[in-house]
Amino acid sequence: MTKKEAIVTAATELFAAKGFAETTTAEVAARAGVAQGTLFYHFKSKENILLAVFESVMVRYQTGMAAATATAANGMAAVEALLRFQLAFVEEHSREFRVVMRDLPSHLGGSDSPQREQVRQRQATVLAMLENALARGRTDGSMRPDLPATATAHILRGLVYGLVRHRLLGLIDLPPLEEDLIDFCRQALQAPAAGPC
């Protein structure tokens, strides 16, 4: 592990445990086993370390999502695969997501900063994958034909995000919800059963 990677790892652990604001650059340096100055050799600022944590996890997230849809038999299966992947991935990388969800929004700088644009791009990509899967399901008949793809993509994204956030940052313990969530979405999305009337 290079020192740069060690810094991101150490920062992830500390930010997740104590929060961004409550973690000093001295602590990050100490845990990473580097000098304080090394942080600022590799990163322009403390906030850029936060952004690196985000980038590092989002690259893996999006790769996984793309893989999840690739093998699905139809649109509905693709959506289900996306949902399952997202929930599992977030569970597995809970520390990173904790940091990203709690601290990133507070530290994205002005509305025209390049950091904001970078994050916006990532979000748009996630959204597009959902929308594609939905459009596919509408076409191949595995979902209701009147489904509004864009709006539903936003809804699904909000749903996953809201649940994950409560699991990671919430003060209330959530029961396991994966299967209930999948059922809920399937009910909402699937074409009405063509009963043999």
Partner DNA sequence: ACCAAAACTGACTGACCACTCAGTCTACTA
Partner DNA sequence: TAGTAGACTGAGTGGTCAGTCAGTTTTGGT
106 is a site residue for a second copy (CB under 8 A) = yes
Locate 136 and state its tokens: 């596919």
- Could you say which of a second copy, DNA, none residue 106 binds, taking C-beta under 5 to 8 angstroms by partner kind? a second copy
Q: Which residues bind DNA (CB under 7 A)?
A: 2-4, 23-26, 34-38, 40-42, 45-47
Least distance from C-beta 26 to DNA, angstroms?
A: 6
61, 91, 103, 133: residue in contact with a second copy (rule CB under 8 A) = 103
Least distance from C-beta 193 to a second copy, angstroms?
A: 7
Residue of 146, 127, 151, 156 whose CA lies nearest to 190? 146
Instruction: Check: CB of residue 46 under 8 Å from CB of residue 64.
Output: no
- Could you say which of a second copy, DNA, none residue 25 binds, taking C-beta under 5 to 8 angstroms by partner kind? DNA
Nearer to DNA, 36 or 118 (CB): 36
Instruction: Check: CB of residue 78 under 8 Å from CB of residue 134.
Output: no
Nearer to DNA, 14 or 119 (CB): 14
- Could you say which of a second copy, DNA, none residue 71 binds, taking C-beta under 5 to 8 angstroms by partner kind? none
CB within 8 Å of 26: residues ≥ 6 apart: 36
| Residue 78 CA to its chain's centroid (Å) | 17
- Could you say which of DNA, a second copy, none residue 84 binds, taking C-beta under 5 to 8 angstroms by partner kind? none
Strands (E), 19-83: none
What separation in angstroms does the CA of 128 have from each of 52, 75, 141, 143?
23, 14, 20, 18
Binding part of the chain for a second copy, among 33-41, 60-68, 86-94, 163-171 by CB under 8 A, reads 163-171
